[in-house]
Structures are given as C-alpha cells and as structure tokens.
Amino acid sequence: MGDKMYIPKSTVKRILKMAGASRASNDAVDLFHRNMNRTALTVAERAVKLAKHAKRKTVDVSDIKLATN
C-alpha cells in the first residue's frame, strides 16, 4: 500500500467519536487510520480478484461480502 491514505483522517476521528470516545490521542488516531486504510485496500483487492475470477469487470455486493469473510 505504501504511504497512500484513502480514508480521510477526519473520518477516522468521527468513527472513534461515534464509537464513544470523547478523546483519542494523535498516536491512536494515526494507528487506527493506517489500519483502516490497509483493511479497506485489502478488502477491495480481494473483491476485485473475486470479480475477475468470475470473469466480470464489475465488483458486486457478493464480492464484497466474500472478501470480508
């Protein structure tokens, strides 16, 4: 993945707040941010691989469901 980040850090902070955190350290936000981006990219790559295996160009809901299991 390199150092590219696809999910904005502000979204990560919002998710932490929605989960009940009143505050989060910068280090915690940074680590959560990196992990969310890595996880999102991994799921996307798996879903694309599944779609290609099914000889489709379009990633479908079923691909995402399978990629997250």
Residue 22 confidence (pLDDT): 95
Question: What domains are defined for the chain?
Answer: 9-67 (1.10.20.10)
Residue 7 confidence (pLDDT): 93
Which structure tokens are listed for 39? 């996880």
Residue 1 confidence (pLDDT): 47
Q: Which of 59, 41, 39, 40 is nearest to 49 (CA)?
A: 59
- Please, where are the H alpha helices in 1-69? 9-18, 26-53, 61-67
Residue 48 confidence (pLDDT): 98
Residue 3 confidence (pLDDT): 64
Give per-10-residue mean pLDDT for the chain (69 aa).
78 96 96 95 97 98 96
3-class secondary structure, 30: helix
Residue 62 confidence (pLDDT): 97
